[in-house]
Structure 1
Amino acid sequence: MIVKMSKYAFMVYHREYDAFLTTLRELGVVHVKETNSILDNAELQALLAERKQVDTAIRYCKSLNSQTKGVALAPARELTKAEGLKLVGKLEEMQEKQVQLQAAKASLEKDIAYMDIWGEFSYANIRRLKKAGFDVTFFSCPTSKYEPKWGEEYNAFLVNNFQSVTYFVTVTKTGTPIDIDAERPKMPDRGLAKLHLAMEQLLDNIKALNNQLKEYAAGQYNTLLELEKNIQNEFNLSNTLVQTDREAGDKLMILEGFVPTEDAPAMEESLGKDGYYFQPLEIEEGDKVPIKLRNNKFSKLYEPITKMFSLPNYAEFDPTPLFAPFFMLFFGLCFGDGGYGLLVILVCTFLKRKVNPDFKPYLTLFQYLGLAALIVGSCTGSFFGISLVDVPAFSKVKDYFVSSDNLMTFSIVIGLVQIIFGKTVAAFKMKAQKGIKHSIAPFAWVFVITSLALAFGLPMLNLQLPEIVK
């Protein structure tokens, strides 16, 4: 269900406004009505960018901490925002260095793989030949195009044949024109031994940097969380000031906001003690009322699915408890295997002991979905892809399994029930929003569909309707 909200207007003398906002923040129940766009405010946009930057750092550190077993997180430190952002900047520098090292590693791996084809040789000897008036030129060409006469004409020496490509070098006097139909590859600037040595050094640097990043993640994670919280509070305060109207020569500050109705009496009592003026207002059509959902333990598991699409409008119904049973049933019908459903239940039960508490609701959801698959699969006689009807041990109960024909009929009936259910929800929604006269047509559709379903469906079940009912 959608938690009922109350709308309030607050009027505060400008010198008391900071203290008033502090009181509201401590109460933590008021959602400020946004009457001015934050897109046009440079300060708010800068705060949003900082919060995004910190959030990215937090998610990176959380990922690193999850990869290290038994990691001890350091407690949060009190830092100024500037000091906290320097910490984030340091992390970004290390990440950039990590990217550069990985790029260098990929380049070295490519050079080593290429030099393995040529084998080990000394660039120093090539330079000595150059001083003596000889050029050493590297070539590669398809093996089918290699000409043996190049050995006589240009002192060509075959080095290797690899994947239908021939690799060779020529040794000619400096200035000798070489007319060979082959590619002159760009060679690495070091020999194979030096490349391997450089790779070892690079791997040591990467390992050291990775250890440094892990230490940083464990040491600064809670501090970054506190920094994000402070930036969020600063954003909320600045946004509140942006949404505040100023009257009477900027002496009177006027603010509108929404409060959960159940929390309104406590808020009124707290503000009344401090002498602040507030006035309840009627929620008007078009108001962007904040949405807060409250459901039972079962339906609450499906709220992430609702949020994946969009939260309902304040004037609408919360669809979560309405679609939750159908979602579970249709998952079971689609999965349709008791063995895999049981496996999902067991895996989720095991993982619930290991994962972060934030993820446990998702695992509980999949336990329910696995239960639906287990029930449907058991009814249809499917277990790990095995048809239980064909297993001799189940011969005495094979008549109790749901056949494919019965399952098709059941699916059609469930589809019809869902249509009627959806039409009924739409009718009640129309009644709640616009009154009973506007809901007559939706309710009529429910009556017509239900009547037609009974009129044609019951005779198929050998149930005859009285003539007067027909």
Structure 2
Amino acid sequence: MIVPMLKYTFLVFYKEYDEFLHQMQKLGVLHVVTQDIELSEPTKQKYADLQTLEKTIAWLKKRPAPICRQTIEANTKEIITDLINKQNELEELEFQQESVKKAIQKALPWGNFSAPLIKSITNEGISLNFFGTTKKKFEHIQNRFSTVVQVSETGNQVLFVHINSNGQTNQFDAEPMQLPAESYAELEDKLEAITKQIKTINETLDCYAQNCINQLESEHKNLVQSLQFESILQNTQKKAEDKLMLLEGWVPKSKTLLLNHYLEHEHIVHLWRKARPGDKTPVLLRNNRFSKLFEPIGAMFSLPDYAELDLTVFFAPFFMMFFGFCLGDAGYGLLFLIGGGLYKLKAKTEIKPYLSLIQFLGVATILFGAISGTFFGINLITTELSLTAEIRHLFLNPDKMFNLSLILGGVQIIFGLFIKAANQTKQFGFRYALATCGWLIILIGSICYVMLSATEIIPENKLIIYLILGTGGFLIFFFSDPEVNLFARIGKGIWDVYSTVTGIFGDLLSYIRLFALGLSSAILGFVINDIGLQILGSSKILGPVFFVIFLLLGHTLNILISSLGSFVHPMRLTFVEFYKSAGFSGGGQAYQPFETIDGIEEKTNKYK
């Protein structure tokens, strides 16, 4: 659910304003109303410094922390400057290192030649020409010319030099090549020198990581707090020749008691009111322990608008079921349930909610795996097991699972229409929800009529279906938009009928993906088991070993691949089909109170 918000307006004398802001920050309940103000250059620079600090801290935390006896005494600006310089120098040296390594590979076949010696030989009128060719061709050249000397041989490639002292030009069936500018030994020395420089810089950076992270984090907190105050001051309106400071902000209704006590004790002039239509009211969600686990999933799309309903509690059970349907293997679900529980024993506090979510998804997977009769890729419907003999008839075959996916899709779409009607009533009034109620009458009435008449509970009577369609159609055509005239309403109603009918069929067919993904996961598991059994029978000694290894690797990959699809596709069904049926608009702004950095971190960890 969305926590109700109250808008507060404060009027404070300018000499008391700084103390007032500090008290507001300690209370940590006020979400300040911001205005479209151009940031000053100093403020922009502070934001740039903040970004640099965050990147630097994150980069240092990734480095190992060996024992460093060197102490670093410098201010934050000097540390940042030196770190940036050393990072740039390190990148340049690493680039040079790679270049030298490539040069070494090219120089290696030519050996440790002496460039001065070659130059002196050339000065004596003796020319040295270098070539490369195949081994067979070189044997032919060597038989013809005694002035040819092999330098190296790598596989079928031969490098050789032709010593020419008479000035004659000889033609060889070989590729002319250039001698490297530096010999192998010279490049090795250069590589060693660069490696030493890199090691020295890394040692210095490791010392920074050991000694300076706390200092940088402290500076980060101070800078964030400074920017917070600057933001508040920029969004403060000055009245009465700058003698009075006017500040507006939002406070959750559940947190106003402590704020009101402070305001009354300090005699702060203030007004408050409830949120009105058109206000940019921030959104704070408050759900039960189960639904809260799914809030990060909903936040991937958008927070709800303050005026509408929070859909987290409504889509959470469906998302859980759809995940289980897509994965659809009771064995895999059991691994999720047990693995998440065991990891909880040693996991950090902020990770535990995610592990609880995994366990709930595992429960749903066990349920749908039991319904479809799949356990670690074993088809319990066709496999002759004494344990499942008495309950085998309860498992649903693929045809029934296909129908189940459509039924679940239809239930969610109709449920979404109920929520849409509630949303429209909450935001605009009941008459705006009458058209949606018309669709509910048509859909639910038609389904009930077909089911009751098919089971002969009621006789077939076309008058009943005409009454259902007429009642629903009347609401759709005449209440599609209560604010326009009658003819415009009918026109909008006709368009609503066309778009809704085509949309519902398309949305309903989208739920077939639940069946398809569940079937593919089961088939992959079956194929893994089948190949594993073939490996088992291939050898009496090694067969069982490779059988176990293959099953572990195969099912692990299947779990990873299938889990990804089982997470993404239910999310797609939620954000597209369900949100559309529920009339979700979104676009809500998150509630971000003005508070101390320690308070923000504490709440962040608590939320996680």
Q: How does 1:357-436 map to 2 (within 5 A)?
A: 357-393=349-385, 394-396=387-389, 397-436=391-430
Q: Does 1:267 align with 2:259?
A: yes
Q: 1:7 offset after TM fit, Å?
A: 0.5
Counterparts in 2 of 1:416 and 1:112: CA distance versus 1, 3 Å: same
Q: CA deviation at 1:157?
A: 4.3
Tell me whether 56-65 or 245-254 shows the greater mean CA deviation. 56-65
TM-score normalized by the length of structure 1 = 0.84
Pick the aligned partner of 1:440 from 434, 438, 455.
434
8 Å CA contact 2:7–2:251 kept in 1: the answer is: yes
Partner of 1:51: 50
Alpha carbons of structure 1 residues 317 and 166: separation in structure 2 relative to 1, 3 Å:
farther
Shift of 1:294: 1.5
Q: Is residue 2:453 matched to residue 1:465?
A: no
Q: Distance in 2 between matches of 1:361 and 1:226?
A: 29
- Deviation of residue 4 (structure 1)? 1.4
The one-letter amino acid paired with 1:464 is: I
Cα shift at 1:385: 2.1
| 1:317-359 CA distance string (max 9 Å, x none) | 2222121111111111111222223333344344445554333
The counterpart of 1:187, out of the listed 175, 180, 197, is 180
2:167 and 2:17 mapped to 1: Cα distance? Answer: 86
Take 1:348 and 1:186, find their aligned partners in 2: how far apart are those partners?
Answer: 62
Once the two structures are TM-superposed, the CA of residue 302 in structure 1 deviates from its matched residue by 1.3
Aligned partners of 1:141 and 1:183 also within 8 Å = no
Matched, 1:302 2:294: yes
**Partner Cα separation in structure 2 for residue 9 and residue 190 of structure 1:** 78
Aligned equivalent of 2:40: 41
* Correspondences of 1:216-231 after superposition (within 5 Å): 216-231=208-223
Deviation of the 1:158 alpha carbon: 4.7
Name stretches of at least 5 consecutive residues in structure 2 with no aligned partner.
Answer: 466-608
Amino acid at match of 1:190: S
Within 2, Cα distance between the matches of 1:466 and 1:218? 83
Q: Which amino acid aligns with 2:266?
A: D
Q: Distance in 2 between matches of 1:299 and 1:122?
A: 76
Shift of residue 447 of structure 1?
2.2
Cross-structure match for 2:241: 249
CA contact 1:291–1:312 (8 Å) conserved in 2: yes
Partner of 2:13: 13
8 A Cα contact 2:425 2:433, kept in partner: yes
Quick check: 1:111–1:188 contact (8 Å CA) kept in 2?
no
Displacement of 1:223 in angstroms is 3.2
Counterpart of 2:118 in structure 1 is 126
Corresponding residue SS for 1:357: coil
* Conserved? CA contact 1:258–1:289, under 8 Å: yes
Q: Report percent identity of matched pairs.
A: 32
Moved more, 301-310 or 273-282: 273-282
In structure 2, the residue corresponding to 1:358 is in which secondary structure? coil
Q: Which moved more, 1:415-424 or 1:136-145?
A: 136-145
Return closer, same or farther for 1:105/1:390 CA change in 2, 3 Å cut-off: farther
Task: Call closer, same or farther: CA 1:158–1:356 in 2, change over 3 Å.
Answer: farther
For residues 339 and 204 of structure 2, the distance between their equivalents in structure 1, rounded to whole angstroms, comes to 34
Secondary structure in structure 2 of the residue aligned to 1:409: helix
Structure 1: segments with no counterpart, 5+ residues: none
> Structure 1 pair 401/175, CA: closer, same or farther in 2 (3 Å)?
farther
Match of 1:86 in 2: 78
- Distance (Å, rounded) in 2 between the aligned partners of 1:121 and 1:127: 11
The structural deviation recorded for 1:85 is 3.9
Q: How far apart are 1:446 and its partner, in Å?
A: 1.9
AA aligned opposite 2:59: Y
Question: Which amino acid counterpart does residue 343 of structure 1 have in structure 2?
Answer: L
Tell me the residue number matched to 1:339: 331
For 2:105, give the aligned amino acid: A
For residues 175 and 311 of structure 1, the distance between their equivalents in structure 2, rounded to whole angstroms, comes to: 84
Which residue does 2:226 correspond to in 1? 234
Comparing 245-254 with 412-421, which one deviates more in the overlay? 245-254
Name the CA shift for 1:169/1:257 in 2 (closer, same or farther; >3 Å). Answer: farther
Return closer, same or farther for 1:118/1:245 CA change in 2, 3 Å cut-off: same
Letter paired with 1:239: S
Q: Secondary structure at the match of 1:309?
A: coil
Structure 2 distance, partners of 1:176, 1:345, is 84
Which of 181-190 and 253-262 deviates more? 181-190
Flag the 1:163–1:9 CA change in 2: closer, same or farther, 3 A.
Answer: farther
> Who is 1:31 aligned against?
31
TM-superposed CA distance for 1:254, in Å, is 1.2
| Secondary structure, counterpart of 2:280 in structure 1 | coil
Q: Residue 258 of structure 1 corresponds to which residue in structure 2?
A: 250
Contact 2:107 2:183 survives alignment (8 Å):
no
Q: How big is the alpha-carbon RMSD for the aligned residues of Structure 1 and Structure 2?
A: 3.5
Please give the TM-score of this superposition, normalised by the length of structure 2: 0.67
- Counterpart secondary structure, 2:350: helix
Q: Which moved more, 1:370-379 or 1:161-170?
A: 161-170
Are the counterparts in 2 of residues 154 and 171 from structure 1 also a CA contact under 8 Å? no
Q: Shift in Å at residue 195 of structure 1?
A: 3.5
Kept in 1, the 8 Å contact 2:151–2:160? The answer is: yes
Q: 1:123 to 1:238 in 2, by over 3 A?
A: same
Shift of residue 306 of structure 1?
Answer: 1.6
